[in-house]
Amino acid sequence: MSAATPGVAARPAPAPAPPKPTTMAQALNQALRDAMAADRSVHVMGEDVGTLGGVFRITDGLAAEFGEDRCTDTPLAEAGILGTAVGMAMYGLRPVVEMQFDAFAYPAFEQLVSHVARMRNRTRGALPLPLTIRIPFGGGIGGVEHHSDSSEAYYLHTPGLHVVTPATVEDAYGLLRAAIASDDPVVFMEPKRLYWSKADWSAQEPAQVPPIGRAVVRRTGRSATLVTYGPSVPVCLEAAEAAKEEGWDLGVVDLRSLVPFDEETVAAAVRATGRAVVVHESSGFGGAGAEIAARITERCFHHLSAPVLRVAGFDIPYPPPMLERHHLPGVDRILDAVGRLQWEEA
């Protein structure tokens, strides 16, 4: 049996290039390319990932550079894609699976819940599955039905999975490298409306890759703390900017990782303000925000001046594109929630 080499650094990293304007899509592509170059056991697979380079071009050029055995156009069957990836990981490879869209990943749900999440546990650690499942998720791109779901709650409710989502170009690269290097299965949720967001950036040394499970404070504040992740991070930063006109100084915590959940960073940020609003795009009922709000309340109760509020998508099936702007939490809805944080009693 060929032993796979876990981890990343297998060949010396090239000298870092000077920062240049880069999209999140390009950073993800670079992360895949660097991971494949560093570790022969990394295999990319999914629908249209080969010749086409993926419908979002995240796998652009990988089949040409590494061959079709390492960047494979699979049959169009998500359970089969993930199921065969499980077998590949059992053999010692490190598959990176692309689910083409959030709602197209549901056929793979049984493989994910019944096998991916449990194999390590089932076998007392004898058979870990170093698997990354990339899922473009969320709305805001004008997609027709089944192209805009926020499905993270299904995954974070499943013990055995890590669930991460980047909000910046830098994190897109770092978190994807960390996900591929992880010996645990990672559901890597890519906020597709941020694919074309840009930053001046160059690839990091693997040593600088942030570990999975650490939230980051994007903005410190004194009035209230917005706790968010993925596609809602830029919205919250915009809201914090706009809040200055109202006289509020809002902090913003980007969770980056829903599982593991970084309670320390969140609790410290909320204690500093005594008020918190959790913001996400997916439906509120039974969503990530419910868990986050509960944990903030449990950890920070005596520091809170107001109940923790949530701003989330409505509890409706994802709307048609011409109506989606009413569903997505925007700056105004976030500021309305901040306004309801019982300031009169302060």
State the catalytic residues: 147
| Residue of 88, 99, 215, 253 interacting with another protein (CB under 8 A) | 88
Would you tell me how many other CB atoms lie within 10 Å of the CB of residue 344? 4
| Using rule CB under 8 A, residue 47 touches another protein | no
| Using rule CB under 8 A, residue 285 touches another protein | no
Q: Which amino acid is at 253?
A: V
Instruction: Output the smallest distance, CB 111 to another protein, in A.
Output: 6
Stretch that binds another protein, among 74-82, 147-155, 198-206, 218-226 (CB under 8 A): 74-82
| Residue bearing tokens 């500021």 | 335
| Cβ contacts of 219 within 8 Å, gap of 6 or more | 237, 240, 250, 251, 252
Alpha helices in the chain (DSSP H): 24-38, 62-66, 78-91, 109-110, 119-122, 152-156, 169-181, 232-243, 263-273, 288-300, 324-327, 331-339
**Binders of another protein in range 168-227 (CB under 8 A):** 182-184, 213
Instruction: Output the smallest distance, CB 263 to another protein, in A.
Output: 6
| Using rule CB under 8 A, residue 301 touches another protein | no
| Residue of 7, 92, 321, 330 interacting with another protein (CB under 8 A) | 92
Nearer to another protein, 23 or 59 (CB): 59
Q: Which two tokens stand for residue 14?
A: 């090239």
- State residue 59 phi and psi, 5-degree precision: -105, 20
| Cβ contacts of 244 within 8 Å, gap of 6 or more | none
Stretch that binds another protein, among 79-87, 216-224, 248-256, 308-316 (CB under 8 A): 79-87
Binding footprint of another protein on the chain (CB under 8 A) = 1-2, 43, 69-70, 74-75, 77, 79-80, 82-93, 95, 107, 110-111, 114-115, 118-128, 159-160, 162, 182-184, 213, 259-261, 263-264
